[in-house]
Amino acid sequence: MTVSGIDVASYQSDTYSTTGLGFVLVKATEGTGYANPRHAAQIATGRRHSLVVGHYHFVRPGSMTAQATYFLQHAAARAGDVLALDWEDTGVTGAQKDAWIEHVQAAAPRNRVLLYCNRDFWLHRDPTSFAGDGLWIADPGAPAGRPRVDFHWTIHQYSETGGLDRDVANFANTAALRAWAAKGTPAPAHEPFPGVAWFTLGRRSPVVAAMHARLVAVGCNHYASSANKDVIGSGDVASYEAWQRKYNTEHHKGWTGAALKWPPGKETWDALKVPNV
């Protein structure tokens, strides 16, 4: 099940319809020189109708610290509000978007911080797969709640209808979304299985470094060194295949052939217990 929502900016009404909605995400700022003049009124409409509200920043090239500070000053978020980075400018690197998210997470510990981007940015421009507390993915070519990414998503922007961007949040109901936004639901202890397609050579991510550490810890160390341990390489392939052979033997699975080869499968990934990063 999912929760319906919308996202709005200055060109939408302050008094948008909230019928059937559980949340609204409102543009607050862009760069360090633009603040949405309707932001406060659009947020007030959401609060008045008991929606979970969020604020987002359209990032531009420049200082990420300055933009994060500008955003937080103008958003004036309350505890339990969602914060998000809108990453659409090709002049902003993956490392810079990571820096913005990390700065806001540190400065606003009572709020969830999301990354918004489209599939092209996520699949072809993002070298780290870092999305803060959750991925808000734009994929209007996919049915609602079925974005075409092999990664745990939090919000899917799936269409524009009636002049509004339409979204669904990956929660059973609005109460569950509100509890998560308020940090009433702890982060999972272990990284969820990111999908087979995620395990591509050359991918850089803190999850890869965490996997590296776990493979060493369970006695499947086939790494030549610990350099670039956050990048998937031949050492990860050899070490993970050793883990699959070990798991197969210890749990009497009877796997052979391709079942023991790279890439990882969900069962052995869950059993490896890669810590949440």
Which residues have a catalytic role annotated? 7, 88
- What sign does the CA torsion over 221, 224, 228, 233 have? negative
- Cβ contact 243:218 at 8 Å: yes
What is the C-alpha separation between 212 and 230, in angstroms, rounded? 8
Classify residue 106 by burial, with Cβ atoms within 10 Å: 0-12, 13-18, 19+. Answer: exposed
- Cβ contact 128:196 at 8 Å: no
Listed in sequence order, the DSSP H helices in the chain are 39-48, 64-75, 94-107, 119-120, 174-181, 206-217, 234-250, 266-272
Q: What stretch of H or E contains 135?
A: strand 134-138
Q: What 3-state class would DSSP assign to 216?
A: helix
What is the C-alpha separation between 261 and 245, in angstroms, rounded? 9
What is the C-alpha separation between 62 and 59, in angstroms, rounded? 9
